Structure 1
Amino acid sequence: MRKRTLSVLCTLGALGGVLAVPAAAQAADPFPSGPSVRTSENAVFLDFGTRKLPKDLKVFLREPGTDTPVATITELDWADEGDDVDWDEPHVTVVRTSPLRLADLGRYAVDVEYDGTEGETILHKDEAVLDYRLIPLVKTFEVIGDPDLVNRTVTIKGDATLRDPRDDSETPMANGRLVLETTAAKTELTTDAAGHVETPYTFTGTEKEDKSTPSRDDFAVVLRPADEDAAHGLTRQVEVDKPWVTITLDSSTVRGADGTDVPLSGRATYRDHNGVSQPVPVGTLMSVYNVRKFYAGEDGRFTAQVPIYGTRQQAIAVHLTPWLPAAYARYTPDPTTSAGFHRIPDATVSRYKKVTVSSVLDSYDLPAKTTLKVKLQFKATGSKTWVTKKTVDSPAAKGDSSRKVKVADLPYPGEGVWRFQYSGTKKIPGGPAPESYTIVRDMTALPEFNASPEPVKKGASLTIAGKLNEKHWYDGQWGAFAGARVDIYFRAKGKTTWSKAGTAVTDKNGKFKRTFKAAKDGDWQARYDGDESQHFYSHSRKDYVDVK
């Protein structure tokens, strides 16, 4: 952003008087709440929330407890992306002072003054405090060494200075406090008389990857002055030579009822450069793949609760970190006596508002042939309640077996999801019951329909006209349905069957029109037959025409 100087004046020293404050009755403040004000080490930032700033804007700095300013600043520039503006969002309405050059270090109260709507002086006192002090900075920083999980010790080397904001001169930060920071630990270090630090440091082995870099193979190490943020320090990336990781399960098979969790134990190890097996560090992140997280304990041991989900193989994983590669070990569930559904149900709704749902019920280790009662349930979008729509019997053989369960021609209850559930008994516990994808179609309607003229002479033209609308499922709004085919039907007086007389296509406004020759007395009707997946069918009212 190009900076534009608003005005230029900065006066140091006493101004020979007390700041005048107008009477409240005379003030017409265009910004009654004043600006948002914050300070950095050598600048003041103001935000009035608008690009239109008040007239004769000034910033005063004074020692707390006094009324005499030590500086008046009217040199204000628009802040840009390089400025230390840390409000919640980037503010294009922020202005800042130029770097301040005050005579003395110390803490200064910040006042803001500008003209009111009638030209009167408006003063907002004590809007912020400027801590004008020596600024600690880390100037050099090195991480020396090639750490791995066996040897995690490196050498930390750095230099720190104190910058004087009065003239930007720098001196060594003698006996200064620094902080070495990673995602796993913070360690305080002390500089020598020359502002230098050089010391061994041992990483924990659980540092997390630096997500700000494209690679996930490194982690960030920050050296900064104590009580200051990372902007006053330096950051270095550390990359580790990863070893080979192995997960050894105490048993590769687990037993339990379908849909339950059971314990699985094992040990996670890695191979060092000498080929010796070592336990992964305590706290190494692991997971039952895509289900739940847990952490390795002492000697790399772990015990995790894992799901029995039919006989489908599952995986235990060590997560990728800067120290370790990803690793997996698979286990096989062996369900005890139980039954459940493991596939997402196939749920469809036809154009004629009929629902069909099907899935496969798996049963395991049944002692004898039996019949399992299965509930078909529906949950409307936005609801937390499952409603049973039908109960069906599903025969199950002795031992392990699978059988398809299907229910068809149910009335469409609206947008929502479906599931089959076997609730289980004491002898045969019930397993999982996954829900379907949401099924929905757009409603359609023919709110306008007319056959004219009425009555009509035999052989004369008869015009059939109407309009087709659709209701969008995503916002519930009705609108014109353009480009749809509408069938025109006729039923002669005294007959019970309808015959198709012709077809019309809706225009951009959802309207259609078709002309016929009048032949017989009878009813006319328009029908939209829906489509394969998106729209329901609908039909118009019947319109009787008397043919003379």
Structure 2
Amino acid sequence: MTSAIVIAAAAVGGLAAPAGAEETRPGFCSSGRMFADHEGSLVIDAMETDRKPVVHLRDKKTGQRVATVSEFRTDRHEDMREVAFISQPLKLPAIGIYGLEIGSEADHVTCGDFDYRLRTEVKDMSATDQVSLDNLKTTVSAVVTTFDPRTAVTAPLANTKVTIKNEAVTQEATTDAQGKLTSPFTFRGTETSSHVSFGLQATSDMDGKGASFEVPAVPQRAVIAINPASQPIVAPLGAIATVKGQALRIAADGTRRPVPEGTPLTADLTGAPVTKADGRFERKVKVDWQNTVETSWANGRYYPWLEFKNHSITVNTTGQVSFSQYKAAIDSARRVTFTGVLGFKPAPSGIVGDMPVTAWYSVDGKTGWKKRGTFTADFSTPFTHTLPGNSDGYWRLSSQYAMTEPVRLTRTATTFTYFNAAPEPVRKGQTFTIKGTLQHQTPAKAYGGQTVLFYFRPTGSKGFIYQGHSVTAANGTFVHPFKADRTGTWIARYRDADGKHFNAESRQDDLVVNP
């Protein structure tokens, strides 16, 4: 298919949409994303329901519209809800950046830019040598080309400066007549990765897109030695502890040497601590609820210069954690709510954040404790937490250093042992009767003098509608007449009235009402 692309000279003074094309609604800009791909096609990411757009390109230098695109092929995205509209590669009169618009000349919306500059490509990146802390030098090379979307021709980018850099080193090299560059490159040995990037300066005619690659690095064995005075950490909650030690590497000849000055370690309160020239370091950490303090390299297992090494220091927190004002209750809907305050003596130094608290359940309060949920509580701040409960059983809370006594939570079970709407079917306007029986306790006994609520859900509806109520007799039975109106479902509900029972709901009974 050939895209409907109309090219106009600047003197034309603007373009109208092709005959038969329909102007795109302004909302299309917000629903999609327009951009130029590598070959110079116009790509629009949009919802599947969007019709194919009509897009105009405006020359930013002359202010004139120079092209209109109205035909696209579609490519469905993986999530199946979005599509990409993709035109044929556009052939515009000059390279540069054009404006994208939808709508008429007099009433249009700007939708971003269409990058029609030369596309730079950095490829064939390589290094002559792998690097290590024993040999940080290598030579990197790459080939740089440009792709011209007007002619679809790729050509070497000759005699052009390229920036070669990583986290610590930045230098320049110049491509030769074939677009190739070769340059010695020396790492510092403290970078968190061994990637090297090639960057170009973007211009009005060239996008300046660069690339990067990973130079092979051989990590060395290492040792992290913590000073005896720094371990274990024994301090009050919230205190600032100092961890001192030395990091050594084992060179290829087996000798132990300090890691490079500036080797980054696990972040602490100061940010990213680094080693000194002799490999020694000092970290500042806050004492919290973690049992250990870990010391390793920044970037952990992915640090390129040293094999992963982690030193754990035991943390012993001084003081006492306790629950105060603790209460647990179960409501009529079988929801358990815990309230209380998590305290610590002596008071923590500064803000130490929150602490995990776990809720436990046991049938007998002695064995078979099961975790039922976890929440967080701030020190000295009242907490409230609710979770689904059981009809009967024991509950308790625990933190890392404290646990409440088990408390039994139960209410009296309530149930509808019989529920029926009759006769059925019934004619519209005819009286029918709902009968049932409400019982409570275990074993079940009649529950007299209680209010029963009746609800009806018409066929095709989602919710139940209150219709009336009745009071149970001494034997727990209830009777209520209703006049038939339409087919649907009836239920009865009991809602706890004395704060000691669980709610109950009857079975659902369908009643057919004939005209």
Distance 1:37 1:247, change over 3 A: closer
**Kept after mapping to 1: 8 A contact 2:337/2:386:** no
Distance, in Å, in 1 between the alignment partners of 2:180 and 2:416 is 90
Q: CA 1:273–1:53 in 2, change beyond 3 Å: closer, same or farther?
A: same
Taking a change above 3 Å as real, the CA distance of residues 160 and 344 of structure 1, as seen in their structure-2 partners, is farther
Q: Does the alignment pair 1:173 with 2:157?
A: yes
- Alpha-carbon distance in structure 2 between the residues aligned to 1:446 and 1:15: 86
Aligned partner of 2:274 in structure 1 is 296
Query: CA offset at residue 193 of structure 1?
Result: 3.5
Q: Which residue does 2:511 correspond to in 1? A: none
**Alpha-carbon distance between aligned partners in 1 of 2:286 and 2:112, rounded to the nearest angstrom:** 57
Please point out which of 206, 220, 229 is paired with 1:243: 220
**Partner of residue 465, structure 1:** 438
What are the equivalent positions in structure 2 for 1:343-358 lying under 5 Å apart?
none
- Equivalenced residue count is 394
Q: Is the 8 A contact 1:134 1:165 kept in 2?
A: yes
Report the alpha carbon displacement of residue 270 of structure 1 after superposing the two structures with TM.
0.4
Task: State the TM-score, normalized to the length of structure 1.
Answer: 0.54
Q: Deviations over 1:367-415 (max 9, x none)?
A: xxxxxxxxxx9999798573689xxxxxxxxxxxxxxxxxxxxxxx753
* 1:377-526 matches, cutoff 5 A: 386=380, 415=386, 464-465=437-438, 487-489=443-445
Tell me what 2:509 maps to: none
**1:113–1:123 Cα contact (<8 Å) kept:** yes
1:445–1:540 CA contact under 8 A, matched in 2: no
The percent identity for this pair of structures is 17
Specify the alignment match of 1:322 in structure 2: 304
In 1: Cα distance, 2:77 partner to 2:328 partner: 54
The range that moved more, 176-185 or 227-236, is 227-236
State the shift of 1:257 in Å.
3.9
| Match for residue 59 of structure 1 among 31, 43, 56 | 56
Distance 2:49 2:495 in 1: 60
Partners of 1:106 and 1:306 in 2: how far apart? Answer: 54
RMSD of aligned Cα (Å): 5.9
Aligned to 1:397: none
The corresponding residue for 1:101 is 91
Unaligned runs of 5+ in 2: 347-356, 360-373, 388-394, 420-434, 449-463, 465-473, 476-493, 505-515
Q: Answer yes or no: is the 8 Å Cα contact 1:268–1:296 preserved in 2.
A: no
Q: Residue 82 of structure 2: SS of its match in structure 1? A: coil
Aligned mates of 2:445, 2:107 — CA distance in 1: 81
The structural deviation recorded for 1:288 is 8.6
Counterpart CA distance in 1 for 2:311 and 2:266 is 11
| 8 Å contact kept, 1:107–1:132 | yes
The one-letter amino acid paired with 2:218 is D
Alpha-carbon shift at residue 161 of structure 1 (Å): 1.6
2:431 counterpart residue number = none
Q: 3-state SS of the aligned residue for 1:137?
A: strand
Determine helix, strand or coil for the equivalent of 1:59: strand
Shift in Å, 1:246: 0.9
CA–CA distance in structure 2, aligned partners of residues 37 and 137 of structure 1: 22
The answer to whether the 8 Å contact 1:285/1:294 transfers is: yes
Structure 1 unaligned spans of 5+: 23-27, 83-88, 115-120, 210-218, 364-376, 390-412, 421-431, 453-461, 468-484, 493-508, 510-516, 519-525, 529-535, 542-548
TM-score of the superposed pair, with normalisation by structure 2? 0.57
- CA-to-partner distance for each residue in 1:179-222, whole Å, 9 max, x for gaps? 3344555544322333221111112323335xxxxxxxxx5433
